[in-house]
Chains A and B, each alone.
Chain A
């Protein structure tokens, strides 16, 4: 299975953008890039996903490199509530195990007031 690599932690100031990188150099053509986040004392929460094109929703934007070997989750204006661990996960819906999410270590985001 293709793996992802993320920095262990990042710091940001409140109201500033946060760019969270994820490397996935062995990504396959049918792997989707999913992002989840886990707030303290809560279960993970879906953020966004994409295949090739950049994606936007109310929570964040996902920028995917042209060769798909990396991607960046963008939080446009960080708030204290965005302090969480962010997980980048590859998921192939066409595989028999496509429902499974394999969580790595994620990136712990600290937002400073």
Chain B
């Protein structure tokens, strides 16, 4: 079975450029999560969607970050303009959530982002 697919795996770009990270969740999953991992702050939840609707974006650091989920099989996380402090590994995860469920989240292999 295909897992969560993220692209690109690596991205190196200059400060000020727009960065778009992509995620394809596992087919049939109805919840999608974006996380960021840095040495200083560890793994942090940025935003999550349920049935393509953003439920909690309290982890999004600032207005330069935006996320969309136009359909059940695709999501993007965009940073515009990018800054060196955005350098991190960004993970996407998906799960099949229901009321009061404990379904595990399945993570992609991440996108390693470097902003010069």
Where the two chains meet, the residues of A that have a C-beta atom closer than 8 Å to any C-beta of B are: 32, 34, 41-46, 49, 87, 91, 93-94, 97-105
Question: Which residues in B have some Cβ–Cβ distance to A below 8 Å?
Answer: 4, 31, 33, 42-45, 48, 50, 55-56, 91, 93, 95, 97, 100-102, 104-110
On chain B, the residues within 8 Å of A32 by CB distance are 102
Residues of A within 8 A of B44 (CB): 103
- Residues in chain B near residue A93, CB distance under 8 A: 100-102
B-side interface mostly = strand
Complex Cα distance, B25 from A65, in Å, reads: 36
B97 neighbours in A (Cβ, 8 Å)? 99
10 pairs of A and B residues whose beta carbons are closest in the complex: A43-B107, A46-B104, A103-B43, A93-B100, A43-B91, A44-B107, A93-B102, A94-B100, A43-B110, A43-B108
Q: Is the CB of A99 within 8 A of B50?
A: yes
Contacts of A34 in B (CB 8 A): 102, 104
